[in-house]
Amino acid sequence: MKKILVLHGPNINLTGIREPGTYGKDTLETINEEIRDCVHSLGMECDIFQSNHEGALIDKIHEALEGYDGIVINAGAYTHYSYALRDAISSVKKPCVEVHMSNIHAREPFRHESVIAPVCVGQICGFGKNSYLLGVRAMYELLS
C-alpha cells in the first residue's frame, strides 16, 4: 500500500481563524479528516504533520527517504524563500506536490514566486481546502 506524507507549514494551524475570507472557515483538524478520508478512499495511507518551524518540516521531509512514497506540502510562507526546504525536497528524490489554499499568483507580488516549485512535480493553488484533496489525487495518479 502506498503511503504519503502531508505537510502543513507555518500558520496553517490557525486555519479557520486566520483570514477566513482567504483560507476558509474549516479548521485544520476538519481539513485533515477530509484528507485522511480522501487518501483512504484511494487505497493509500498517510501521515499528516504541521509545524511552524522550518527545521521540523525539513526533518519530516528527510523521513520520507524511508517511510513514504510521496509528499504533499503546503509550505506556507516558506514557499517563497526557504531554500532549505527546497533542498530537502530535492534530496529525498520522492515526488512532491505543492499545494496552497489561496491562489498565490493573485495575491501580493512576493507570493508569486515559489522557490520549491522547481523541485516539485506540480503546484495546485486557489481551491481552498480542496487544493489538498486535488494534491492527494494527483499523488495517487503519480504513484499508480
Which listed residue (68, 78, 100, 132) is catalytic?
100
Residue 141 CB coordination number (10 Å)? 9
Distance (Å, whole) CA 139 – CA 133: 10
Say what percent of the chain tops pLDDT 90.
87
Question: Is 23 tagged catalytic?
Answer: yes
Region 116-130: mean pLDDT is: 97
Q: What is the pLDDT of residue 66?
A: 94
Distance (Å, whole) CA 135 – CA 78: 18
Region 101-120: mean pLDDT is: 89
Q: Residues 23, 101: contact at Cβ < 8 Å?
A: yes
Q: Would you state the CATH architecture of domain 3-143?
A: 3-Layer(aba) Sandwich (3.40)
Region 74-98: mean pLDDT is: 97
Distance (Å, whole) CA 91 – CA 137: 23
Report how far apart, in Å, the C-alpha atoms of 103 and of each of 2, 21, 99, 114, 129 are. Answer: 29, 12, 10, 12, 12
Question: Is 8 tagged catalytic?
Answer: no
Would you say residue 23 has pLDDT above 80?
Answer: no
Say what percent of the chain tops pLDDT 70.
100
Considering only 25-29, 59-63, 108-112, which range has the smallest mean pLDDT? 108-112
Which listed residue (23, 68, 132, 140) is catalytic?
23
Q: What is the pLDDT of residue 24?
A: 77
Would you say residue 41 has pLDDT above 90?
Answer: yes
Would you say residue 21 has pLDDT above 90?
Answer: no
Predicted TM-score (pTM) of the model is 0.95
Distance (Å, whole) CA 135 – CA 95: 11
Would you say residue 37 has pLDDT above 90?
Answer: yes
DSSP 103: -
Would you say residue 108 has pLDDT above 80?
Answer: no
Closest CA to 103 of 126, 75, 133, 78: 126
Considering only 53-57, 62-66, 103-107, which range has the smallest mean pLDDT? 103-107
Closest CA to 96 of 66, 56, 136, 44: 136
30: which 3 cell numbers?
A: 476538519
Which has more confidence, 133 or 106? 133
